[in-house]
Amino acid sequence: MRKIDLPELDRAAFTEKYGPWAVIAGASDGTGACYAQQLAAMGINLVLVSRRQAALDALGEQLASEHGIEFRTLVADLTEPGAGGRLVEATANLDVGLYISNAGADGAGNSFFASPVDRSLRLLTMNAANVLEASHGFGNRFLARGKGGIVVMSSGAGLGGQPWLVMYSATKAFELNFVESLWAELDGQNVDVIGVAAPIMDTPTLRKATEGLGMDYSMAYDPADVCALALASLGKEPLVLVPDGPDEAKIPQIQAERKTRLLALAEWGKAYTAAADA
């Protein structure tokens, strides 16, 4: 399994800024469960969201037993319109400081034209409309409380078009651009956002999707490492791009160039806004 050099994380400072409650959409296993485990180890209470009640209950009870946290579970289908807003409403009585958008997997090999259009529309709802709704709702709550953070799990597939993964690639590109734009707009307001262009990770979802294909899982990353990198980078970077795929040698340069462009556009935007307000 491929490894990542992880930066140090100030757990006390992280908990103070992003606690006492975190909401994780797509929490039942894999990457979402890794986020839950790492946040629970810091003493952050959890709202665990997925379509599988039994899996959420088992994870929540395990983490409560191990770390003494509180937890709630919410069963939700994020491919349904309005689900993002309902997450915000369902947690209105909690002091949420962190929202993690982790839903949105899709299997490879899907022809856009051969698949029902409803399938594409549901993926668009999950990776665009509901990410937008939840980020808008939680983001405004964080601005009102003066601190907070949003983590959006995108994909390296969003860095460019990918045939036979058309809607996944397109909607993950939306997430990356959405996060970068918010990162610049939120500058100086003590609310952080980061997008993760996730690499291939050894998760139950990957194992299920590639069963019988003879895949070499040693080429995949440990999802716990990717989650730890994302949490350590929150508040410091707009995007986390983990080297992966046929152009992985160029990934550090791509990340640096995207940030340079974003910072230049942010300065242009500030000047434009100031002139418009004058």
Q: Which helix (H) or strand (E) holds 151?
A: strand 148-153
Return phi, psi of residue 177, to 5°: -65, -35
Active-site position among 35, 99, 172, 221: 172
For 221-257, b/e burial (b = at least 16 CB within 10 A) is bbbbbbbbbbbbbbbebbbbbbbbbeeeeebeebbee
> 69 exposed, middle or buried (CB, 10 Å; 0-12, 13-18, 19+)?
buried
Known catalytic residue at 172: yes
Query: Integer distance in angstroms from the first to the last C-alpha of the chain?
Result: 56
Proportion of the chain in helix, strand, coil states, percent, rounded to 5: 55, 15, 30
Known catalytic residue at 217: no
- CA 27 to chain centroid: 11
Q: Which residues contact 266 (CB under 8 A, 6 or more apart)?
A: 184, 187
Q: Please answer whether residues 178 and 131 qualify as being in contact, where contact means their C-beta atoms are separated by less than 8 angstroms.
A: yes
Give the up-direction half-sphere exposure of residue 213: CA atoms within 13 A in the CB hemisphere: 11
Active-site position among 35, 99, 168, 221: 168
- By annotation, the residues acting in catalysis are 168, 172
